[in-house]
């Protein structure tokens, strides 16, 4: 199956960002991708953290969700909608959420970002907890014979989340629930097998991305003998923030199959189930866990 990471340099207008996302999705479909991944905050990189609260949507209803569902139907794609702001119990904060739509435009999975980024060095400061409520459930879904785990940006620094999605013995993973936002356990054999592919929409800062982005992506792929798609914001944004970019697809051996440094781009590569099987048979590390 061919996957596409759609790198963007999102701005302060939701309408303009959706228009650019539509163009990239059309390009991905024209290149025969089956799954397209948008970056974190694809719909809005605001002037302040409160801007995302202003455009938040109720689960199952809103222009951003309608755009994703409609685009999935029109292009015949699975679409992992980067992240968008959904209402949270705290009216001053949002959930930073990945929604996955199947080619029929139906919601297939939902993941609310669990780990919230915080960083300060000199005048550079980020504190996602000021405007985001964390999620609390790992999420994976099934897509054309692949088991796919959902993660977002800062989650990359927490290997235990990826290991939980690759460790059936730890208990069932969670499948995305209804458009109303519920998440349900699925204890079937298919739902509890290790993930073949992880998606990581991101908006890594240039400061941290330059040092850590690729090495962490490759580490998560190698540790779990799974493909990784890191789909990033990449460039200088209207609000003055600079993101690292370097969207890439990595195979289970840690090899980078495709990458784009900066700017809007469609980064594609093929996911090969047989390659996953071969690597896991030759190096059965997932079965060697002790703790």
211 given a catalytic annotation: no
Please tell me which residue in 43, 52, 87, 113 is annotated as part of the active site.
113
52 given a catalytic annotation: no
Instruction: Give the DSSP H or E segment for 213.
Output: helix 206-224
153 given a catalytic annotation: yes
Please tell me which residue in 153, 195, 231, 262 is annotated as part of the active site.
153
Please say whether the beta carbons of 76 and 111 come within 8 A.
no
Beta strand residue intervals within the chain, DSSP E: 2-7, 35-37, 78-80, 84-87, 94-101, 107-112, 118-121, 124-127, 139-143, 146-150, 174-176, 183-185, 197-202, 227-232, 234-236, 242-244, 247-250, 256-260, 265-270
Cα–Cα distance, 267 to 256 (Å, whole number): 11
Output the CA angle 41-61-74, nearest 5 degrees: 75
CA 91 to chain CA mean position, Å: 25
Cα–Cα distance, 11 to 185 (Å, whole number): 36
Residue 149: name the closest of 130, 168, 121, 129 by CA: 168
CA 162 to chain CA mean position, Å: 13
So which residues are the catalytic ones?
40, 113, 153
């Amino acid at each position: 199956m061919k996957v596409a990471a759609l790198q963007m340099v999102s701005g302060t207008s939701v309408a303009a960002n959706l228009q650019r996302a539509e163009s990239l999705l059309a390009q991905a479909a024209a290149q025969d991708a089956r799954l397209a991944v948008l970056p974190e905050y694809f719909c809005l990189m605001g002037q302040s953290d409160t801007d995302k609260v202003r455009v938040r949507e109720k689960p199952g209803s809103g222009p951003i969700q309608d755009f994703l569902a409609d685009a999935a139907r029109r292009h015949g794609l699975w679409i992992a909608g980067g992240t968008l702001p959904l209402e949270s119990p705290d009216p001053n904060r949002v959930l930073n959420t990945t929604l996955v739509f199947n080619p029929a435009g139906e919601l297939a999975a939902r993941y609310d970002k669990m780990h919230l980024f915080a960083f300060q060095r000199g005048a550079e400061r980020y504190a996602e907890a000021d405007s985001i409520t964390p999620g609390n459930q790992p999420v994976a879904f099934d897509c054309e014979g692949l088991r796919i785990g959902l993660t977002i940006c800062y989650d990359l620094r927490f290997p235990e989340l990826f290991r939980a999605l690759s460790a059936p013995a730890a208990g069932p993973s969670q499948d995305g629930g209804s458009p109303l936002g519920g998440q349900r356990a699925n204890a079937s054999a298919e739902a509890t097998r290790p993930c073949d592919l992880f998606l990581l929409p991101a908006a890594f800062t240039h400061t941290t991305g330059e040092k850590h982005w690729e090495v962490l992506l490759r580490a998560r792929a190698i540790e779990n003998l799974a493909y990784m798609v890191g789909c990033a914001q990449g460039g200088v944004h209207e609000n003055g923030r600079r993101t690292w970019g370097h969207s890439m697809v990595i195979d289970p051996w840690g090899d980078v199959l495709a990458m784009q440094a900066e700017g809007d781009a469609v980064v594609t590569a093929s996911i090969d189930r047989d390659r996953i099987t071969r690597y896991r048979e030759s190096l059965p590390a997932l079965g060697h866990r002790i703790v």
